[in-house]
Amino acid sequence: MWQGWPLERMLLLFVGLAFALIAIQVTLFHSRQNFRHWAMWVPVIELPLFAVVAIVLAFYNAGWLRWLFAFMMWAGMAVGVYGAYLHTVGVGQRVGGYSQSQNFLVGPPIVLPLMITAIAGLGLLALYWG
């Protein structure tokens, strides 16, 4: 069990809340695009799960939960990088492709999947810091 609120525990809570907020934004963006590609469902399903596990782990420090969280964060980092790749390809598929700087503004946000990677990385740092 946890003793007090060390930095690691606060970071796990922050990671959980961040995943919950990113999940809302990703769901809005992907539903606006009518889930045209199967991969659009991955963050919509995984991010709320990541949020719940991180928040529960912040309050209940069980070994099996730490293992599950670590596995999810490694998967989240990989999926975030893959999402950035898909978003980059999506920008190139718009009229004018990469030569139109406007496509980077109105096309799929390339940085948003990398935020998932970054938050997952922060989750791993929090998990292994102590």
Has residue 30 been placed in a domain?
Answer: yes
Burial of 39 (0-12, 13-18, 19+ CB in 10 A): middle
- Name residue, tokens 């980092």: 77
Domain count along the chain: 1
As a whole number, mean pLDDT of residues 22-44 equals 96
Question: What does the alpha-carbon distance between residue 36 and residue 93 come to, in Å, rounded to a whole number?
Answer: 14
Alpha helix stretches (DSSP H) within 1-62: 7-32, 41-59
- Domain containing 11: what range? 7-129
pLDDT tens readout for residues 39-81: 999 999 999 999 999 999 999 999 999 999 999 999 999 999 9
Has residue 45 been placed in a domain?
Answer: yes
pLDDT tens readout for residues 95-118: 899 999 899 999 999 999 999 999
Q: What pLDDT band is residue 9 in, cutting at 50, 70 and 90? A: very high
What's 107's DSSP letter? S
Q: What pLDDT band is residue 2 in, cutting at 50, 70 and 90? A: low
pTM of the model: 0.92
Has residue 2 been placed in a domain?
Answer: no
